[in-house]
Structure 1
Amino acid sequence: MIVADDEPFTRRSLIQAFKWREEFGIEVIGEAADGQEAYELCMELQPDLLFTDIMMPLLSGLQVAEKLKAAGSKTRIIVISGAQDFTYAQNAIKVNAEGYILKPVKLQEIRELFRQVTARALEERESRLNAELLKRQLQENMPLIREKFLQNLISGLYQGEPEIREKIAYFAVPFGPEDLLTAAVLQLDDYRSAVAKFTEEHKQLLYFSVQNIIEECLGGERRGIHFVRGENEFILVLRRNGQQPASALQLCERLIAGIRQSLRLEASIGIGRECGTPEELEASYKDALAALVHKFYTGHASILHIKDIQPETGTLESTFFYKFHAGFMNELKAGHTDKVMELLEELFSRLEGPRLQIDYVQSICAEMIFTSARTLYEIDEDIEQLLESRKAIMDRLYSRSSIAGLKKYMQELFHQLSSYVAGKNSSKNNRAVHRIRTIVQENYARELSIARIAEEVYLTPNYISLIFKKETGETITDYITGIRIGKAKELLRTTDLKVKDIAERVGYENPHYFSTVFKKTSGQHPLQYRSDMQDSP
């Protein structure tokens, strides 16, 4: 606060009348002996309050207030007057004075007025600071809010061109009234398997890198904008003036090449129809998603424009499928693996040709698997052990992102089924079992799993477990344990090695676990077994 009065005694009395800081939270930062000095101090120091006499040399208190108001000052004015004339009070109101006090001054009246004024000032200051904070937070978060607007725009959440144009202007989205707009969607191919081993930080760096490549290809926002809608959904809105040739295809080609070169990943892009207003972007975006689905047929690194996609609702000829299915089942039951593979090739040549609905193709494959399982179960109940659960099979079918991947899965599954049928009672199984035994006998001292053995004999874990149990009457795990415990008994009888060392030599890293397995198998602790062997004649 600045105190202004041309009488030094009165000015000093007003300054010393209260403990301004303690009682009101006010600091007196200056005093003036005339109106001109008061005005200049206020302009220099910008105080919150001016406590001024109304009658002063050079400028009156009201004139000071008028000049401060004209200069845009935020200083609040409290006027002291010895005149009873109501005109002064009216003029004080005109210059937005906070209070009008008549002389002789009453301290209680001053106290009450200043309490009211400081309360209002603090409330307005807090409100102003909150507003400034909100504006600052708004600016800091503007990129996120803008991206949310764009996500809502392509989702069709706004109705009417005026509302959309107003928001476009507010968020500085570079869409001109003459621009033609096209939505495109970029996805990384085989995304799940590509990032399966990534840390979250690595994933975020990947998204950032993809956006940088898009930004570079777009040339800032000269040719369009981009934003992210989902974990693997990078959206582009391309813009062109009606006089310019369309170049979406060339841009997409550069994008795919840039991602391949920089990230060693493949990406595909779906392109929607061109539209004349931002309101139509929702339809263009949905077109782009619909086009992108067809990379199931075209494979990785595809650029698919909706205008090139011809929707198909056809099915395979019923006569073909009936004959095919009957012949396929006969060959499968006979174990004719080569013929089964040949028939699968014929089926997929038809599925790949006319682009049928993807869910129809998947349902054809599911029907073949489950029909085959029921048919083979009638021959051999053990066939169930070769197949996963119904849910797992469906998950595998529907997780294949391309028809090539679906074909590969079907070939692997039916090769395994037909091979099992073919080798059910043949010497082939005997040779496989002999090879498994040899592997165990030669590698029992190392880490040994069914999966590792399966790799060495070029068969699946389920298949070798099935044929080994069928031929020997015991599981592979039990056979490995038997070999190891047998070798351990030999070492206990013929050496003085510690149990810990013997456990390591026969493939057990944990001696306690070895002792548990030994006792379960032999009925004795290893040391007891050694003692009994030494005592026996």
Structure 2
Amino acid sequence: MFQVLVAEDELWIRKMIIDIIEKTDGFQVVGEARNGQEAWDMLQELWPTLVVTDIMMPNRDGLWLVEQIAEKKLPMETIIISGYDKFQYAQQAMKHQVSEYLLKPLKEQELRDAMQRLYARLEDNGKWHTYLVKVQSFLEELAAKEKPTDIHDQLDKLLHSVLELRDTHPAYYTALLRLLHTKWSERLGSIPNGTGQLFYPKDVLSVEQIRTSFEELLRSSLQTQSNDSYQLDKKVIREICAYLEQHYRKNVSLTEMAERCHMSVSHFCSVFKRQTGMTLINYVNKTRMDKVRQLLLEPDLKIYDIADLVGYTTMSYFNRIFKEMEGISPNEYRKARGI
């Protein structure tokens, strides 16, 4: 199942796109964003295999988004949807290796056809994408470790795995080193002198050199992460969770939550997962589903009304999330309880 992130500022169009994708075999929507910046922040947490984006949006547009994906050499296919039938837009999109360029008004079959054309390419990228997601998860776990010996052992495993790509998949190897560099520099705020050149393949000579540089980064992180700061993080995330309990219907974004905590998006994602054991999106879905289970016990409420009450914009997405968490559909949930 290929995971899709949708970026579109107009709610009704975003809702339509999500509905089309959810009805297309082999694809599922894992996130929706209202602008390019929000999509970029979500992308770094969710790591979808396909990004479908409008070209004109506030706070960073679709061209900026696909440019970031291309520059970082991320293993993701991109579909741009544009209301502008102009050569310069298409030219810019192609420069950033956009997979498909569709025009508004969007026709359902056109989007389905575009996704099917990408299917084979997505399958080719599948193993690499899975590997990247595992590395991302590994980095988050590594950041939460407190003992240098634990870090040393785990880092050895990661780096040996990464270096295996150097000869077999050099392009992926380069992209992964850039990811490691970006993730740690964002998380720690700065990089110790002398480690920046490490992240270019021509300068990487051995596991030991890479490990030494990463250990410098990690030591810097551990030195600055005092017990006081840990307790502060705990308090801040507790407040965020309380906010989400009250505003679960709202389509909250990573950017908004990070700004509330005065953290970078990357650092917020790491701290939130360390404190709650889940991503922000998973936490919001869990909170919504807790409310859904209560509302399903009220026979007068229609299921589509319940979905709307807790903040889901499309029934297909709502039904999938419910089934993933409960193992059965909302209708089956009611029947099992005699409702």
Shorter chain as denominator, the TM-score bin is 0.3 to 0.5
User: How high is the TM-score relative to the length of structure 2?
Assistant: 0.37
Q: Greater relative contact order (Cα 8 A, min sep 6): structure 1 or 2?
A: 2
User: How high is the TM-score relative to the length of structure 1?
Assistant: 0.24
Larger Rg: 1
